A and B are shown apart, each in its own frame.
Chain A
Amino acid sequence: MTQLKMADLRVGMVLPELTAGPVSRLDLALYCGASGDHNPIHVDIDFARRAGMDDVFAHGMLSMAWLGRLLTQWVPQSTIRRFQVRFAAITRVGEVIHCAGEVRELQQVDGHWLATLALVTRNQQGETKISGEAVLCLPISDREKEQ
């Protein structure tokens, strides 16, 4: 786990990647129970087929939770001001999911850095599954204050 050193913060900086999966049916069952999201389409293949799907598929919020881990392994959670995603494609059983983030914008506001990050999850073929954004409020380092 590599935490952000404030002196390194710059636009274009890439967050330490996080990989999850291969997604198993057990993962989906555990997430169903722990999250309280009991939509059967994620755990009951009979239901999923009746709904016109080939198979069960992962909860979008499981992938968003992985992106949350990507953030909190890099910065303290208290720095996260906003966190939002769009679910673009279904994450399937067996897929390996790569979670990535990059600093897109830095603004100094009221004695802090506001850092806007672009976030994405992709499978092993590089297909985008979810994309989103987070805004972090980070302290300005002592060295920067002296400048």
Chain B
Amino acid sequence: MIDQGFIGHRFEPFSAEVEAGRLRAFANAIGEQDPLYRDLEAARAAGHPHLPVPPTFLFCLEMEAPDPGALRALLGIDIAKVLHGEQGFEYHRLVYAGERLTFEQRIGDIYSKKGGALEFVVRDTRVVDHQGTTVADLRCVTVVRNG
């Protein structure tokens, strides 16, 4: 069983830059053809300062952590047993290419179902811009399949 004593654990914050080329690669990978998400001129014509970060991409930037497997390492979870259970985003403003964002992650909850056959770890992430303003809050629920 995962030790519930880790509820409230905070990871070392890390920063990541939103790169335009990476946004274009992401647009290709998800089949996004809207020029707003691919072409700087189209984004500017629509009133944006740069390419906007699409709705789910902040989750990808969480992979920029020095050790993206830090949560699994801390809790002793085997990557072969994890599934993504839930994901949530709360947006406070649009974020753009060229911004540097800081990710503050903490373990929000740990619980089990089916007599421990399934365990759940909730990771809450606050995303902050260079001025210290929160731009988004993310909630990720990882499911661990035991047995």
Contacts and interface: CB of A to CB of B under 8 A. Distances in A.
Nearest to A86: B86
Chain B binding surface, main DSSP class: mixed
A35 B31 contact: no
The size class of the interface chain B forms with chain A is 35 or more
A60 B84 contact: yes
Chain A binding surface, main DSSP class: helix
Contacts, number: 111
Contacts of B30: 31, 34, 62, 65-66, 68-69
Interface residues of A, number: 40
Interface stretch (A8-16, A36-44, A102-110): A36-44
B86 A31 contact: no
A66 B37 CA distance: 14
B60 A80 contact: no
Given A72-B54, A82-B89, A61 B139 contact: no
Interface of B: 22, 25-26, 28-32, 34, 37, 52, 54-56, 59-61, 63-64, 68, 79-91, 93-94, 139
Given A59-B84, A61-B84, A78-B94, 13 more contacts: A38-B68, A39-B79, A51-B81, A61-B60, A62-B29, A65-B55, A68-B54, A68-B56, A84-B86, A84-B139, A85-B86, A86-B86, A87-B83
